[in-house]
Structure 1
Amino acid sequence: MALTRTKLSLSLIAAQTKPDDLSVPQDLIDYLKTLSFADGAGVGAANLLFHDQRTLAASGTENLDFAGTLADKFGQTLTFARIKAVLVVAAAANTNNVNFTQPAANGVPGMFLAAGDGVAVQPGGMFLWVAPSAAGAVVTAATGDLLTVTNSAAGTSVTYDVIILGAAT
């Protein structure tokens, strides 16, 4: 199955003003960065897509296992060799953070600086990581194939969206 029309865009539009005696100077930024991915496994290429909206119970934890346990929307099991992009978006209605980490044991290396590192995605927030290089983040079955998602506290569940682009070779 081919992965076609794959584009990732980031846009930031902001205006900053400072009223002055006779004028209102302003600084405008309209920043747009778009990366396109070809179907494949080399530089700027991806051929696997996983996406889901997930909910974790209070204080819950789950591992996303990239070596044969995730399935695409057609029911096909995905075995990633490389991860090229990760987007995690925490629901605005969450009370707790969604912690996204590279576990110390069997974590996918290359996305974070060290085992155990991660990011807290606050309610309504997002985390985006992209590596269009040929290497991306290398997945090794049984020894480097996990990313951990944790609800940061007790009391309430958290909901998050996750989108992963990767390559099978």
Structure 2
Amino acid sequence: MTLSGTMLAVAAFAEQSAAIDLGVSRAPQSLSRQMQLASGTGAGKADRVFSDRRTLAASASEDLDLAGALLDAFGATITLARVKGLIIAASSGNTNSVVVGAASSNTWATLLSSTGTVTLRPGAFVAVGTGLADAAGYAVTASTGDLLKIANGGSGTSVTYDIHIIGCSA
């Protein structure tokens, strides 16, 4: 299967201003990064995509198996050897946070370590990408380092989150 138009882009812009004697002084500041991936498995390439909107019941969690349990848009099982791009976004309508990371076993630890987590409050998101400069991406090791835990950070209400993973099979 080939991929086309694969890109991950993130941008931030802010402008500080202050009144001065004869007007206003402005200091625009920005940072943006984008990553374009060709179809394939080497440096700057990807050949697998998983994308989904998911809901977790109150106090629930799930382990997403990156090596052999996720389904692509056509219903085919995909196995990731490396993750090149990852976006997880908590719904702004959530009451609880979405907690990413720290599976109890077989943790996918190349991004967050085995115990690290990222807490996404309602409406928050995280985006991580590697492109041509990092051919390795974030390694996935089948059966021993392939579980990405996603948890509802509280009780009482469910949480919804969107996830998009771009990676390669080799």
With the shorter chain as reference, the TM-score category is over 0.9
TM-score, length of structure 2 as denominator length: 0.94
2:155 alignment counterpart: 154
The amino acid that maps onto 2:84 is: K
- The number of residue pairs the alignment matches comes to 168
Aligned to 2:84: 84
Q: Is the Cα–Cα contact under 8 Å of residues 151 and 157 in structure 1 kept in the other structure?
A: yes
* Alpha-carbon offset, residue 21 of structure 1: 3.1
Aligned amino acid, residue 162 of structure 1: I
Other-structure match for 2:139: 138
Letter in 2 for 1:137: Y
Q: Which residue of 1 aligns with 2:26?
A: 26
Q: Distance in 2 between matches of 1:10 and 1:163?
A: 14
Is the 1:111–1:129 contact (alpha carbons within 8 Å) kept by the matching residues of 2? Answer: no
TM-score by length of 1: 0.94
> Conserved in 1, the CA contact under 8 Å of 2:98 and 2:150?
yes
Describe the superposition over 1:82-116 as per-residue Cα deviations: whole angstroms up to 9, x where unpaired.
1111100111111111000042520112111x211
Is 1:122 the counterpart of 2:121 in the alignment?
A: yes
Matches within 5 A, 1:1-169: 1-112=1-112, 114-132=113-131, 133-169=134-170
Q: Deviations over 1:58-94 (max 9, x none)?
A: 1110011011110001011001111111100111111
Deviations 1:13-32 (CA, angstroms, capped at 9, x unpaired): 22211122322111113443
Structure 2 Cα separation of the partners of residues 134 and 110 of structure 1 = 14
Say if 2:58 and 2:159, in contact at 8 Å, map to a contact too: yes
Q: Which amino acid aligns with 1:135?
A: A
User: CA contact under 8 A between 2:100 and 2:149: conserved in structure 1?
Assistant: yes
Runs of 4+ in 1 over 4 A off after TM superposition: none
Question: Hey, what's the Cα distance between the residues in 1 that align with 2:109 and 2:30?
Answer: 34
Shift of 1:49: 0.3
Farther off after superposition, 77-86 or 23-32: 23-32
CA distance in structure 1 between the aligned counterparts of 2:103 and 2:115, rounded to whole angstroms:
5
Q: Contact 1:41 / 1:134 at 8 angstroms: preserved in 2? A: no
Across the aligned residues of Structure 1 and Structure 2, the Cα RMSD in angstroms comes to 1.3
Q: Is the 8 A contact 2:63 2:150 kept in 1?
A: yes
Structure 1: gaps of 5 or more residues: none
